[in-house]
Amino acid sequence: MTTSALRSPDNRPIRRVLGIETSCDDTAASVVDDGVTIVSSVVSSQIDLHATYGGVVPELAGRAHLELLTPVIADALARAGSDETGRGIDAICVTHGPGLVGSLLVGVSEAKALAMAWGVPFVGVNHLEAHLFASMLEQPDLGWPLVVLLVSGGHSMVVEVTEPGRYRVLGGTIDDAAGEAFDKVARYLGLGYPGGPVIDRLAREGDPKAFNFPRSLPGDGYDFSFSGLKTSVINTVRKNPEAATADVAASFQQAVVDVLVTRATAAAEEVGARAICLAGGVAANSQLREAVAEVAAGLGIGAFLPSRSLCTDNAAMVAAAGYWRLHHGDTSGLDLGVDPNLRLVPLA
């Protein structure tokens, strides 16, 4: 990757960018060089704040971002040898959707204010696109095309990426996102929030074959569904109140992993992928990681499993995606709005 030709519209060379992420319940800021080198990455999670309610409470999230964002940015800047004057920062990249409207507004307003104060360009970044870029931060030389399984609390999709910023959504969930299914099942089982990590841990002690939960793969494409699975778990527990929670967790997780891996494998074969990549919070799931590594080895292709801190929400991935957007001449104006339902749109 060359950076010498990369310049902002006012001819300022862009190498070092500040990323800002506030789309859901993580307040994050990061300084990244050349789109790939993480200089600092700070994430302040609000999990404890929302855990009592069993899920993210939008009003509380927005207020917490307001309190946390300034210190989180200050920390990320200080760790990168900068300060509140933005010394050395060439541009700002901020998530402007999809996500919670109040939370997104906090990040976007801050990015605009800093861009004005520092006299640097800024660009709005799609949170989903940012997840797609997370893998490139650790392995910039992944071959193309890739099949990325983007599985988070809000979204679950199978995406073909032909090069950075160029992708095609092949399919995805027709109802619940994978993380949402983990969170809902965990809540039903009384395991707390967020559900993914706790089910992941508990499943290790259970029998994944104890219950044969449905694997829903509608149509001939790459879509999938988790709402029937969730209902089946609830009905099974109602009928078998004595069932060991670890067995339910293990059997549920096995069903989710089977569905995701079936679709990712078929997609990888069809597009001739050089590797299968995981992205999004559910990509932290240990069984999913093992299963993807195994099928990729079987296909004779690579498996890329980003470190857990890059799977869950962070601002380094926002900086990486924004860097590429800026590289393609994409900058935002002060009229940039937030879009809670922003869709994944490839670079033109």
Residues near Zn ion (CB under 5 A): 152, 313
Q: Which does 165 bind (CB under 5 to 8 A by kind): Zn ion, ligand KG4, none?
A: none
Residues 170-229 that bind ligand KG4 (CB under 6 A): 179, 182-183, 194-197, 200
* SS3 of the chain: CCCCCCECCCCCECCEEEEEECCCCEEEEEEEECCCEEEEEEEEECHHHHHCCCCCCHHHHHHHHHHHHHHHHHHHHHHCCCCCCCCCCCEEEEEEECCCHHHHHHHHHHHHHHHHHHCCCEEEEEHHHHHHHHHHHHCCCCCCCEEEEEECCCCEEEEEEEECCEEEEEEEECCCCHHHHHHHHHHHCCCCCCHHHHHHHHHCCCCCCCCCCCCECCCCCCCEECHHHHHHHHHHHHHCCCCCHHHHHHHHHHHHHHHHHHHHHHHHHHHCCCEEEEECHHHHCHHHHHHHHHHHHHHCCEEECCCHHHHCCCCHHHHHHHHHHHHCCCCCCCCCCCCCCCCCCCCC
Residues 86-105 that bind ligand KG4 (CB under 6 A): none
Closer to ligand KG4 by Cβ: residue 115 or 279: 279
Stretch that binds ligand KG4, among 86-94, 102-110, 152-160, 338-346 (CB under 6 A): 152-160
**124 touches ligand KG4 (CB under 6 A):** no
Closer to ligand KG4 by Cβ: residue 54 or 221: 54
Q: Which does 179 bind (CB under 5 to 8 A by kind): ligand KG4, Zn ion, none?
A: ligand KG4
If binding means CB under 6 A, how many residues of this protein chain bind ligand KG4? 19
Stretch that binds ligand KG4, among 86-94, 137-145, 219-227, 274-282 (CB under 6 A): 274-282
Q: Which does 276 bind (CB under 5 to 8 A by kind): ligand KG4, Zn ion, none?
A: none
Binding mask 12-41 for ligand KG4 (x = CB under 6 A): ------------x-----------------
**125 touches ligand KG4 (CB under 6 A):** no
Site residues (CB under 6 A) for ligand KG4? 24, 152-154, 179, 182-183, 194-197, 200, 280-282, 284-285, 312-313
